[in-house]
Amino acid sequence: MGCAMKVGWGLINILMVISNLQQCVLGLSKVPCFFIFGDSLSDSGNNNYLATTAKANYSPYGIDFALGPAGRFCNGETRVDIITKILGFNNYIPSFATASTSDIHNGLNYASSGSGILEETGRILGELFSLNQQLQNHKETIKNLVAKLGTVDSATQYLKKCLYSVGMGTNDYVNNYFSIVSSFNMLLYDLEKFTESLIHQYSKQLRILHHLGARKIVLFGLGPLGSTPYTTNAFPVNTTKNMNNGAKLFNKKLKSLVDQLNTELTDAKFIYVNVYQMMSSDVLLSSGFKVLNKSCCTVLNATMACYPFCTPSCENRKEYVYWDGFHPTQAMNRILAQRSYEAVHPSDVHPFDISHLLKL
């Protein structure tokens, strides 16, 4: 009788823990957890703890952010921060570098500024978490989640309900293929072959993510890489045109990859977000932006970074597309987040938006 009572109370305690988790997470958000992989467009502070020059933990970064200069390459929220709020989470998804075991049921942000699909991308900037390393970090998270939930099956079922965001490729072009100081790839491959090899590697990494339990995956395409304040100042016109051509080529192949993955991995669903389309001049002007190709903050030596502790010269940050030489303002990130969650135009996403993905 006493033994039966103990077993009974043990089961009750487990059910109470699960119930509390559901109330704590599902009751407040559209998904139980949100896992984020990417580069500086999504980094929420992982690079603060790495030996790298790719950091944004100083003002004027974070001038419009409640936590100040926390490591985001923006004046305020990144696109994944805004999606997090749309999903209904009360707090931002914690960065992998700062998260405790108690945080992991909400998801983690593994994004690392300067990182890429290729292992060597961004290494000239110092330490970073490449996409391969981000996947390794996620494996560690899953181990902790299994320990927390009790069984592998419990963790597997939990992860199936989560949303995954992946946004990579930008640095593989800007800080690798087109880099004057670090690239051998341009000597070895033309743009078409380089992009093919990049997508091939990306496909393998996304399949690993699926193997780790991801079932609802959002893939952000590349924006107009050659049209940023940094690239237009640092590279000749023919190079910036090729950068944009590279972004378009990558996006075209990524969209096809989404179709392939959805066909082959029938228990999952991948969607493609057309960032390039959302950053077209027509969309920007109709959205109220007035300054399309200049940085809002004063940048250091025509690089992409804001000059440290310098007050931004722009009067209205909501009118600027770019915060520094490369990264969007919070106002631009709002457009990207809102239209990826609920498409305004059919070309914004493929095959459908995040809101429809969550219903599957």
Q: How many CB atoms lie within 10 A of CB 57?
A: 15
Residue of 42, 130, 183, 327 with catalytic role: 327
Q: Which residues contact 315 (CB under 8 A, 6 or more apart)?
A: none
Distance CA 255, CA 252 (A): 5
Q: Is 30 exposed, middle or buried (0-12, 13-18, 19+ CB in 10 A)?
A: middle
Residue of 324, 348, 350, 353 with catalytic role: 324
Pairing of strands 349-350, 269-273: antiparallel
DSSP assignment, residue 177? Answer: I
DSSP assignment, residue 217? Answer: E
Alpha-helix residue ranges (DSSP H) falling in the chain = 2-25, 79-87, 131-149, 152-160, 170-172, 185-188, 191-211, 229-234, 237-264, 275-278, 281-286, 330-341, 354-357
Distance CA 243, CA 150 (A): 48
Q: Which tokens is 299 given?
A: 């940048």
> How many residues comprise the chain?
360
Q: Which tokens is 248 given?
A: 């378009």
Q: Which tokens is 134 given?
A: 């981000």
Q: How many CB atoms lie within 10 A of CB 91?
A: 10
> Do 341 and 80 meet the contact criterion of CB atoms below 8 Å apart?
no
Distance CA 315, CA 319 (A): 9
Catalytic (active site) residue 324: yes
Catalytic (active site) residue 39: no
Distance CA 356, CA 270 (A): 11
Nearest Cα residue to 91 out of 21, 33, 144 = 33
Angle at 159 between CA 40 and CA 119, to 5 degrees: 35
Q: Which tokens is 233 given?
A: 């100042």
Catalytic (active site) residue 327: yes
Burial 99-134 (b: 16+ CB within 10 A, else e): beeebbbbbbbbbbbbbbbbeebbbbbebbbbbbeb
Show which residues are catalytic.
40, 324, 327
